[in-house]
């Protein structure tokens, strides 16, 4: 490349200058092209996913709709502004590229333009701010609540507890219900989450139903939830919370009013002990011996008729372990990370049309549909399934308390018994 021979380049060492630019442009042309192509392809492919349950652009409830109605126009306007800016830059770069022409006269300041370019963005931002503030206010309404659910995050699963209340269902909820992993709500009902955490900050986020909200120890934060139609809506913890943050998921299952009433009745049913002499009965004994110190099963008694009161606060750092009374009414476990249903049964629930969803969900985990592999593996060695602080040798920082479920050294026979017992918990 020869140095153009004019004023400007004369002042510097033209040889090195141009050869360096030449090299740079050679590298970056090749790389930039590849990178742009890849990025474009990535963006395209991501946009194509039709089965993306955590897509923020597919609102399924009034709250998410509010956000969508705000975000979309803003996104379009911002996109348009972005395109205009890029286009102008591209035009300037091309139009005034270095063709060897002399440097034009340099001027300083152009008040009219500067003031104009300050006022225009300010106006755009005000235009965005007014509806934003309105939506923020709407999303914080609590006085149209029809149902309250206490949501508590802990490493690395969510607990849902339905306090005694007049709302949620005809006749109200007469005794508290405690469940985990899947939050069941009546569809088309304004549910208010009162959320907190037992250990570190987590964030509750069901993209199809609302934005995310941090759940902070010692504080209670409200979050509205409403699903237009029955169905299941996936989400995940959105605030880094330690080892298994990536495996801390949750789902909201919205049922018809009747379906929800049936669910509530079932949750509050009295405990049915396994048939005497069955494998499950042996499982009950194994559960009392190995699990009941952490996991509550309401109504469970030991062989002498002593009610089993779980004391997870003496075992687990957060002070809680999932209540397993009705484990098989939910279809995922351990932070909604693993399935309790075989693939085809899971699809039947997840992809059910909304008018059939409630019935399919309420079937829970049937004998035929039970995907026992993951649960068996979990009982064999839970910490091997997902990272947790469960090595007894390394619990000094928590005074011997686990974070997660520890390895319990169960025999295969015990696991068979426990699986038989757990399969009846519904």
Partner 1 sequence: MFTTGTKFLIGASVVSLLATLIYGIGQDGVLGTVGLASATVGLIFLTSVNAILRDSNVFLDDEAPVESTAAAQPAPGASVWPLVFALGTVVVAVGLITYQPVVVIGLIALVVAGGEWAVQAWSERASSSGEHNAEVRSRVSNPLEYPVGGAVAVGIIIYSFSRVMLWLSKTNTVIAFGALAAVVVVVAFALARRPKLNAGAVGGGMAIGVVALVAAGAVTGADGERDIPEFETTSIWQEEAILHPEEYAEGAAEGHHPEGLICESPEAFPEADENASETVAIKSSIYEVVLNDSGTLDYDVPGVVGTSTAVMSLPRSNPTNVIFRNDSDEERRLSLDVGTMTVEIEHGEEVEEVEARNQICTTLIEPGGAQLLTFRVDEPTFAFDGQPNPNGPDDAEGFWFFVPGVDSAVLEVYVP
132-171 residues in contact with ligand HEC (CB under 6 A) are 156-157
User: How many residues line the site for ligand HEC (CB under 6 A)?
Assistant: 26
DSSP annotation of 30 reads H
23: Cβ–Cβ under 8 A, 6 or more apart, which residues? none
CB of 268 to partner 1, least distance (A): 11
Contact flag: residue 131 with partner 1 (CB under 8 A): no
Distances (CA, A) of 146 to 42, 138, 166, 193, 195: 42, 16, 9, 11, 16
Q: Which stretch binds partner 1 (CB under 8 A): 43-51, 194-202, 246-254, 332-340?
A: 194-202
Among Cu ion, partner 1, ligand HEC, none, what binds residue 241 when CB lies within 5 to 8 Å by partner kind?
Cu ion
Contact flag: residue 316 with ligand HEC (CB under 6 A): yes
Q: Which stretch binds partner 1 (CB under 8 A): 98-106, 157-165, 373-381, 398-406?
A: 157-165
- Judge residue 12's burial from the number of C-beta atoms within 10 Å of its C-beta, 0-12 exposed, 13-18 middle, 19 or more buried: exposed
Q: Omega before 191 cis (within 30°)?
A: no
Scanning the structure block, which residue is given the tokens 């005794």? 175
Question: How many Cβ atoms are within 10 Å of 378's Cβ, its own excluded?
Answer: 19
Contact flag: residue 268 with partner 1 (CB under 8 A): no
Note the Cα 105 to chain centre separation in Å.
57
171-230 residues in contact with ligand HEC (CB under 6 A) are 180-181
Comparison of 296 and 417: residue with beta carbon closer to partner 1? 296
Question: How many Cβ atoms are within 10 Å of 10's Cβ, its own excluded?
Answer: 10
238-297 residues in contact with Cu ion (CB under 5 A) are 241, 248
Q: Which stretch binds ligand HEC (CB under 6 A): 58-66, 102-110, 134-142, 316-324?
A: 316-324
CB of 249 to ligand HEC, least distance (A): 10
Contact flag: residue 322 with ligand HEC (CB under 6 A): yes
| Contacting residue, 202, 212, 249, 425, with Cu ion by CB under 5 A | 202
| Contacting residue, 406, 417, 420, 423, with ligand HEC by CB under 6 A | 406
Q: Are 136 and 63 in contact (CB under 8 A)?
A: no
Scanning the structure block, which residue is given the tokens 């597919």? 58
Distance from C-alpha of 150 to C-alpha of 146, rounded to nearest angstrom: 14
Site string for Cu ion, 226-245 (x = CB under 5 A): -----------x---x----
Comparison of 143 and 344: residue with beta carbon closer to partner 1? 143
Comparison of 136 and 384: residue with beta carbon closer to partner 1? 136
Name residue 232's beta-bridge partners: 253
Distances (CA, A) of 250 to 151, 180, 319: 11, 8, 20
Comparison of 64 and 248: residue with beta carbon closer to ligand HEC? 248
Distance from C-alpha of 297 to C-alpha of 302, rounded to nearest angstrom: 11
Site string for partner 1, 211-240 (x = CB under 8 A): ------xxxxxx------------------
Comparison of 66 and 291: residue with beta carbon closer to ligand HEC? 291
| Contacting residue, 165, 290, 308, 398, with ligand HEC by CB under 6 A | 290
7: Cβ–Cβ under 8 A, 6 or more apart, which residues? 102, 103
Taking alpha carbons only, the member of 255, 206, 262, 212 closest to residue 234 is 206
Among partner 1, Cu ion, ligand HEC, none, what binds residue 180 when CB lies within 5 to 8 Å by partner kind?
ligand HEC
Handedness of CA 208, 197, 191, 176 (dihedral sign): positive
H/E stretch holding 111 reads helix 111-139
Contact flag: residue 403 with Cu ion (CB under 5 A): no
Site residues for ligand HEC per CB under 6 A = 156-157, 180-181, 290-291, 293-295, 315-316, 321-322, 324, 327, 333-335, 379, 402, 404-406, 408, 410, 418
């Amino acid at each position: 490349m020869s140095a153009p021979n004019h004023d400007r380049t004369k002042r510097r060492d033209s040889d090195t200058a141009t050869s360096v630019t030449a090299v740079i442009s050679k590298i970056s042309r090749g790389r930039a092209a590849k990178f742009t192509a890849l990025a474009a392809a990535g963006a395209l492919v991501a946009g194509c996913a039709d089965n993306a349950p955590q897509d923020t652009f597919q609102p399924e409830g009034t709250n998410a709709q509010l956000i969508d109605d705000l975000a979309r126009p803003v996104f379009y306007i911002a996109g348009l502004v972005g395109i205009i800016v890029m286009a102008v830059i591209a035009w300037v770069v091309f139009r005034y590229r270095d063709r060897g022409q002399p440097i034009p006269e340099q001027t300083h300041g152009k008040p009219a333009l500067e003031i104009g370019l300050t006022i225009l963005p300010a106006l755009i931002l005000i235009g965005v701010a007014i509806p934003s503030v309105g939506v923020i206010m709407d999303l914080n309404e609590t006085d149209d609540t029809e149902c309250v659910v206490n949501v508590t995050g802990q490493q690395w699963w969510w607990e849902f507890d339905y306090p005694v209340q007049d709302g949620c269902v005809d006749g109200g909820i007469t005794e508290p219900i405690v469940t985990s992993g899947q939050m069941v709500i009546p569809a088309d009902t304004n549910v208010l989450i009162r959320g907190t955490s037992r250990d570190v900050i987590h964030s509750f986020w069901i993209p199809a139903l609302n934005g995310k909200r941090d759940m902070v120890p010692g504080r209670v934060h409200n979050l509205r939830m409403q699903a237009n139609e029955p169905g299941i809506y996936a989400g995940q913890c959105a605030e880094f919370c330690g080892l298994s943050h990536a495996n801390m998921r949750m789902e909201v299952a919205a049922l018809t009013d009747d379906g929800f009433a049936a669910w509530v009745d079932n949750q509050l049913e009295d405990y049915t002990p396994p048939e005497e002499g069955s494998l499950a009965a042996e499982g009950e004994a194994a559960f009392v011996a190995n699990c009941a110190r952490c996991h509550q099963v309401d109504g469970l008694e030991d062989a002498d008729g002593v009610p089993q009161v779980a004391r997870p606060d003496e075992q687990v750092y957060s002070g809680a372990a999932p209540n397993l009374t009705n484990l098989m009414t939910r279809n995922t476990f351990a932070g909604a990370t693993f399935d309790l249903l075989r693939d085809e049964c899971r699809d039947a629930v997840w992809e059910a049309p909304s008018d059939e969803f409630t019935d399919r969900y309420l079937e829970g985990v049937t004998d035929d549909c039970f995907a026992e592999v993951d649960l068996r593996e979990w009982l064999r060695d839970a910490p091997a399934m997902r990272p947790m602080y469960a090595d007894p040798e390394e619990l000094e920082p928590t005074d011997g308390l686990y974070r997660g479920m520890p390895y319990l050294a169960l025999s295969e026979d015990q696991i068979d018994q426990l699986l038989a017992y757990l399969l009846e918990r519904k």
